[in-house]
A and B are shown apart, each in its own frame.
Chain A
């Protein structure tokens, strides 16, 4: 896709985005009078939205979920324990696999070939596909044992009969992870591609003159300069993946017998199918001890660097 490079060529009045962007003065003095009133009026719509649809409902959820008995009930539920293990595996594997592959593939897409640019345009397709239909396609490809597309391809290529993918919890969860990586990896590849393009070419030229191998250029130039972007992206992806119900809900649907559920989908079942909304809320809240530390690190990173690429 030529868009990435073009975007940089015309990225605003101050020219190409380089590593250090022009910054506004830290604090131009306090606002007074009509300036202050107008600024407050401009923030008001978002403030209303945030209060009405984030603070109020979440406060309400905390109030319902504050009963300690709910958590005893959760811990004695085997489905919940399995979902807790699953979500750690789901987030840990899906996030790291897509991030590492995206980092490596962004280097591949830096190559200046026409066919590679065309391939990039196709490569981002999964990200632009709406989640529900994309995951349903995965489901149907895998569930139609022994004749789904996946099993048919396996028997064509290797001459063996493929497995029934949703018969074992781990295999089903693996399918969900694969689908999530498929959907989100293009986005992170684009982000790392943008990050790589912001690295001045002189650094690589200098390394070339010193005879650095591609591996050493990656380790000593690309990695240090992309480190912050990589960490922030990984943390954000982790936060999103913790809350992402769609792959599990639509690919494996939690089969067999709740063995591939994760906490968000189990929370839905508790709240909607088992008519026990407080337990659903408690299940959702129970991931906060994992999410809050991630969020604190993320905010510190954002505050310290204001995500400079």
Chain B
């Protein structure tokens, strides 16, 4: 307050008003540039999906001349040869996504609780070991993963994909949980211990309720991770009945006669669940991001 008052006093009011106007115009311009930059690829999806003729012909315009929802109704009825399996594929993706979400939250919170709250080991030791997971180049894992999945009996099984995705979603979840847990005073644990609480009670009655926002954030990250993933699904699943949406999109992409309007319509539908979850939980998400200081 004082500062702006001084600034006004030092300079003439006209100068100050001019400066404000320039800053205002500049931020509007920047806002417009950001909006265009973000929305062009999204707009492109709608442009193609709303064009019933755009199967593989390059009938491309900046504004759709005959926008129609025909592609979406065919998707809904799954009546075209290209897309007859689309709804089971969505089912597979949702099953994998939810399983990864739940298992990541449970496994990561148990480990973060034991290390961070019970002081089983030093905090950074676990985070570092977990972070090492992210150094491993994916292409080195193709053959080893196929082999171990044979050994474990998980080849062409959604369980194998779930295990692999949980493995790669958990390290980040542990990092976020460890950092958020620092906001909870350890005196709470000590008080509960004096009252005779067991380790399990500490976890269920103190840790989980107080960590609920961070757990929600971590769960959403895990869901986004599973939704972003293509590699483990493509590598570990083979049969048609296990095909996921990400795999179906890639199969279209490989096809010389790719039905691009279907692809983009599927892409739009596939993007909706994570966006809905994200915006529903966005205050937790921002919290997880800031509390973790690192990303998903």
Provide the residues of chain A in CB contact with B182, threshold 8 Å.
Answer: 21-24
Partner of A134, one of B41, B43, B166, B293: B41
- B144 CB to closest chain A CB (Å) equals 4
A:74-122 near B, CB below 8 Å: 105, 108, 111, 113, 115-116, 119, 121-122
0 or 1 for each of A1-32: is its CB under 8 Å from B? (1 = yes):
11110111001111001000111110110010
B295 touching A58, Cβ below 8 Å: no
B:258-292 near A, CB below 8 Å: 260, 263-264, 266-268, 270-271, 274-275, 278-279, 282-287, 289-292
A22 touching B185, Cβ below 8 Å: yes
B139 touching A111, Cβ below 8 Å: no
Provide the residues of chain B in CB contact with A295, threshold 8 Å.
Answer: 131-132, 135
> With A38-B200, A140-B48, A144-B58 in contact, is A268–B142 under 8 Å at CB?
yes
0 or 1 for each of A125-159: is its CB under 8 Å from B? (1 = yes):
11011111110111111001001110011001000
Partner of B246, one of A130, A138, A153: A130
A25 to B117, CA, bound (A): 10
A140 touching B44, Cβ below 8 Å: yes
B144 touching A60, Cβ below 8 Å: yes
A27 touching B119, Cβ below 8 Å: yes
A256 on interface, CB distance cutoff 8 Å: no
B53 on interface, CB distance cutoff 8 Å: no
> With A7-B290, A130-B227, A149-B44 in contact, is A12–B123 under 8 Å at CB?
no
A162 on interface, CB distance cutoff 8 Å: no
A149 to B202, CA, bound (A): 57
A64 touching B139, Cβ below 8 Å: no
> With A52-B148, A152-B62, A307-B179 in contact, is A128–B263 under 8 Å at CB?
no
A140 to B113, CA, bound (A): 46
Partner of B40, one of A40, A129, A149: A149
Provide the residues of chain A in CB contact with B127, threshold 8 Å.
Answer: 302
Partner of A128, one of B31, B114, B224, B253: B224
> With A35-B118, A243-B137, A307-B293 in contact, is A299–B128 under 8 Å at CB?
yes
What range describes how many residues of A lie at the interface? 35 or more
Partner of A12, one of B48, B147, B210: B210
B146 nearest in chain A by CB position: A277
Main DSSP-derived SS at the A contact region: helix
0 or 1 for each of A43-72: is its CB under 8 Å from B? (1 = yes):
101110110111011101100110000000
A46 touching B271, Cβ below 8 Å: no
A240 on interface, CB distance cutoff 8 Å: yes
A58 touching B282, Cβ below 8 Å: no
B230 touching A17, Cβ below 8 Å: no
Minimum-distance CB pairs A-B, first 5: A267-B139, A194-B290, A133-B267, A208-B3, A12-B183
Instruction: Jot down 13 A-B pairs with beta carbons below 8 A, ordered by A.
Output: A40-B114, A49-B166, A122-B35, A129-B271, A133-B264, A182-B41, A188-B295, A191-B289, A191-B294, A243-B134, A284-B141, A288-B137, A295-B131
A interface residues with partner B (beta carbon < 8 Å): 1-4, 6-8, 11-14, 17, 21-25, 27-28, 31, 34-36, 38-40, 42-43, 45-47, 49-50, 52-54, 56-58, 60-61, 64-65, 105, 108, 111, 113, 115-116, 119, 121-126, 128-134, 136-141, 144, 147-149, 152-153, 156, 179, 182, 187-188, 190-191, 194-195, 197-198, 205, 208-209, 211, 229, 232-233, 236-237, 239-240, 242-243, 245-246, 250, 263-264, 266-268, 270-272, 277-278, 280-281, 283-285, 287-288, 291-292, 295, 298-299, 302-303, 306-309
A sample of 19 more A-B contacts (CB under 8 A), given A124-B278, A140-B263, is: A11-B290, A13-B188, A54-B133, A64-B144, A128-B278, A130-B270, A131-B230, A132-B249, A148-B60, A149-B44, A152-B62, A211-B10, A266-B139, A267-B140, A271-B139, A302-B128, A303-B124, A307-B294, A309-B290
